[in-house]
A and B are shown apart, each in its own frame.
Chain A
């Protein structure tokens, strides 16, 4: 090869090397750095410890239940089983529950406007946001009107009407009953919550009061358990 060809060859080699390096660098994602300071890490740690505590107490509860199941007499076993069924039904929202909590009354706001104003309704999106917020702030059980909200309750828009549990919600005003361990705290949270503003935009007002001994209705329909299967491999009831 002549010297000139060699130089050109080398030059193009260098160009290719350059291109490869750039391509390599472009594909390398910059690593994410942890920019939390000491206090943020501490609060995170505290939160995680709290979760750990909760999990531990849950484990002890379940251990106790196992011990009860393994109890001596047959009648004891049956009693424990019945008790767990009651508890599970309560958890699934299939029983009426009583307790302290807050009552949120959703009322329409009417303004003095010259133009005609339509009667406001609650949209599913608003309800979902409200329920999310309530759950975040420690609600244990929620009922909207006469409909109990369970983990599988659908909230949908059907031809412009809002349906909960496949039933339309009654016209305004509607009561939303929320049970919680600390009603006062939930009330304080809700007084300054985002939901209040969002409802106000839709001409709806939330008036929130603390109530004692509220009764929440039970979930009326059969819960659909499409994803549960009977385990036929293991024999049960014999030991």
Chain B
């Protein structure tokens, strides 16, 4: 698990060092894209813990979700509707669900480990 975390840190550092700034009118798109990316990441993590991880689903999901979210935001701006809120809502709910499932899985795993240790001592 340390490799992705390392890469995350590298990505953040790279972003900070390059000093790229998105113009203010596009900040909305990027924020929604970041949210979508988060959602996909947590989804992938969850799938991995459940041992259902599919590389193809994960990669396509990431790019598709990010593009779709940005497109929704764009469409909303053109139509004068805050459509990006729909994306925020949907991704937000899924984020919470995924995090909850990951937490439960980790707790369960911890419990199983403890029980095993107890049995071994006996």
Contacts and interface: CB of A to CB of B under 8 A. Distances in A.
Given A16-B8, A23-B22, A10 B3 contact: yes
B83 interface: no
Contacts, number: 102
B23 to A, nearest CB: 8
B87 interface: no
| Chain A interface, >50% SS class | helix
B86 interface: no
Contacts of B55: 2, 4-5, 8
Nearest to A2: B55
A10 B16 CA distance: 18
B39 to A, nearest CB: 10
Interface residues of A, number: 26
Interface in A1-37: 1-2, 4-27
A19 B15 CA distance: 7
B88 interface: no
A17 B10 contact: yes
B14 A19 contact: no
B41 A8 contact: no
A27 B27 CA distance: 8
A14 B59 contact: no
17 contacts: A5-B53, A8-B59, A10-B6, A13-B7, A13-B8, A14-B8, A14-B11, A17-B11, A18-B15, A20-B11, A20-B15, A21-B11, A21-B14, A22-B22, A23-B31, A25-B16, A25-B19
Interface of B: 3-16, 19-22, 24, 27, 30-31, 33-34, 37-38, 40-41, 44, 48, 53, 55, 58-59, 62
Interface of A: 1-2, 4-27
